[in-house]
Structures are given as C-alpha cells and as structure tokens.
Amino acid sequence: AQSVTQLGSHVSVSEGALVLLRCNYSSSVPPYLFWYVQYPNQGLQLLLKYTSAATLVKGINGFEAEFKKSETSFHLTKPSAHMSDAAEYFCAVTFNTGGFKTIFGAGTRLFVKA
Amino acid sequence: DVKVTQSSRYLVKRTGEKVFLECVQDMDHENMFWYRQDPGLGLRLIYFSYDVKMKEKGDIPEGYSVSREKKERFSLILESASTNQTSMYLCASSSRAGVTDTQYFGPGTRLTVL
C-alpha cells in the first residue's frame, strides 16, 4: 500500500538557520512527489515537484528537495530560514495505478524565531 | 494565474441542515477535487471529477455528494450536516489526469456544524 509520512508535526528554527522538513513514502510503483505550502488563511500552493527528470529539485522561495530512492525520502530544505517561511508544509505523493491517486502527508508546521 | 474560488470562507450550520459548498476555477481545468483538512490528518480526498457530470469517490465520501454541471464549477453537498463534518474544506483543480500535474487550491471554507 502507498503511504506518506512526515516526521514532526511541528518544527521550530531560528531566523537564518537551516530548514529541514522530512518526508518518507512507501510505494510499490514509481512515485511522483510534491511539496506544497499553506500560509495562514490560504489554500495550498506548490513549492516544488519531482517528476523523475532530476533527483535534486529546486522550488520557489529558495527551497529545494532531493529524491532518494534508496531511502524512500523526499526531504525539503532551505539553507537560511526567513520569518516569512512560517507556514504549514505538506508532502504529497501521486501514484499511477491505472488511474492516478494523490496522498498527502499530515503536514509539518514550521515556526521561525527571530 | 490560475484562480480557484470558494463561495464562503466561514460557514456555520446546524445539525441536519443541507449544506452546499461551491467551487469555481477559471482556467478550463478538466479535474476538480474536494478535500477536507483536519489537524494531524492532512488532506483527505472526498470526491473528484475528471469531466462534466463525472465523479469518483475518494477516500472519505460517506455523508457527502457532489455535482458538476459545468466544467468550471464543482459543488460539494452535505445532505444532512453532522458535528463530525466540522472541518476545513479545500477545493482544487488540475489541468489533466497526469501524475505530475500540479493541483491548484482555493482558500478553503471553514465549516462549523453546531
């Protein structure tokens, strides 16, 4: 069965520090991976996505993620956190199993301290 | 820019009422989705539609129905609202049934059932 796990429902970092949000998936078919961000009182918007073209994916606002098949992971990183990065982040995986299905992780809320 | 709008940001209803949540997208997308978002559970798919008058059940369709009479509009219906349907409801659309396609989300409707 396919699943997505985000480790840590809350992550707190200081402004300027490294941001690392973890995502692991389980799949018997090739996965297509996404990170979405949700700012307060808004819907989700795409940060970046892995589509098998390159394992290191760069997204908006300085975020990037690396697909590691051996570790079944797609962790999101940003070298230097900014106050405006405070939001909830969702990892999502789409599988092609005849039709296609997207599963979202439970989300990780990022807090950025001044 | 793709725009997905939802009819209400906040809604308060009483148990047993029939509730309509409306979603409109302006980019001629084939696919539309309804999710509910609950803390610690991420997004769970209620229903989706890949064409006018077509619908497919998602992971949690019980207590809900949908209607898609026009390509740009996808309605979620709670036939008889219950307190356990208090949640944030998110509508999304995407351009085709590809596994790498981005979903575009509306701002959400926070529904409270008393």
Q: What is the 3-state secondary structure (H, E, C) of chain A?
A: CCEEEEECCEEEEECCCCEEEEEEEECCCCEEEEEEEECCCCCEEEEEEECCCCCEEECHHHCEEEEECCCCEEEEEECCCCHHHCEEEEEEEEEEECEEEEEECCCEEEEEEC
Which residue would you say has higher pLDDT here, A98 or A40?
Answer: A40
- What average pLDDT does range A40-53 have in this prediction? 89
Chain B hits for A96, Cβ within 8 Å: 99
A43/B105 touch (CB, cutoff 8 Å), yes or no: yes
pLDDT of residue A24: 96
Chain A hits for B43, Cβ within 8 Å: 44, 90, 104
**B79 min Cα distance to partner chain A (Å):** 25
pLDDT of residue A97: 65
Residue of B9, B99, B107 lying closest to A94 (CB–CB): B99
pLDDT band at B105 (very low <50, low <70, confident <90, very high): very high
The residue in chain B having the minimum alpha-carbon distance to the alpha carbon of residue A49 is B100
- What average pLDDT does range A49-78 have in this prediction? 92
B41 near A CB under 8 A: yes
pLDDT tens per residue across span B45-85: 999 998 898 899 999 999 999 999 999 999 999 999 999 99
pLDDT of residue B100: 76
